[in-house]
Amino acid sequence: MKDIVVGRLGIDAPGPGYCHFPLGRGNEWFDQLTAERKVVRYEKGRAKIDWVKDAEKRNEALDCRVYAFAALRLESPDWQREGYALKKRAEAEAAPAAVPAADESAAERPAARKIPAGRPLFPAAGKAQPPPAAPQKQTSVLARLSALRRRR
């Protein structure tokens, strides 16, 4: 995760992965963001990557950014799946209602909900695709974050 966050700091042009910062950020915050450096050590012939910071430097800004990115990756909604569900719900609501029974008056029937005509719900989407399968095992955010920490 830290590799991705630090790597994105080098993206100069706005676009995917580009980092936006508020104008009020001071030099101390950016010093914290860049306080660590990647060091590759070899142990028993295998490369081991460590992130090292000087003892007097603070790195809270980098840690917070990495934690936020990890939370985003772990809990990010599947927008394609959400869009598919929304489109299916809209299609179901737009379908013609069943013909009421002869004894049911118009006052007793619920009002039909109309979907406004005009632009489509998903202009860029082509043919609707079924949502991807849900993950088999659900674990808590804390369990996943602690697993990430153990890997470092």
Q: Sign of dihedral through CA atoms 84, 88, 89, 94?
A: positive
- Residue 115 confidence (pLDDT) above 60: no
> How does pLDDT run across 47-64, given as a tens digit for each residue?
998 999 888 899 899 999
On whether residue 115 sits in a domain, the answer given is no
pLDDT of residue 85: 77
Q: How many separate domains does the chain show?
A: 1
**Domain presence at residue 3:** yes
Q: Is 20 among the domain residues?
A: yes
Average pLDDT, the chain: 76
Q: Is 81 within the bounds of a domain?
A: yes
Instruction: Retrieve residue 8's tokens.
Output: 């994105």
pLDDT digit string, tens, across residues 78-107: 767 777 777 888 888 877 655 555 555 555
CA 101, CA 45: separation in Å to the nearest integer?
A: 80
Q: Is residue 27 part of a domain?
A: yes
Domain hosting residue 59, numbered range? 1-90+139-152
Summarised one tens digit per residue, pLDDT across range 119-138 is: 555 555 555 566 666 665 65
Residue 119 lies in a domain: no
Specify if 102 maps to a domain. no
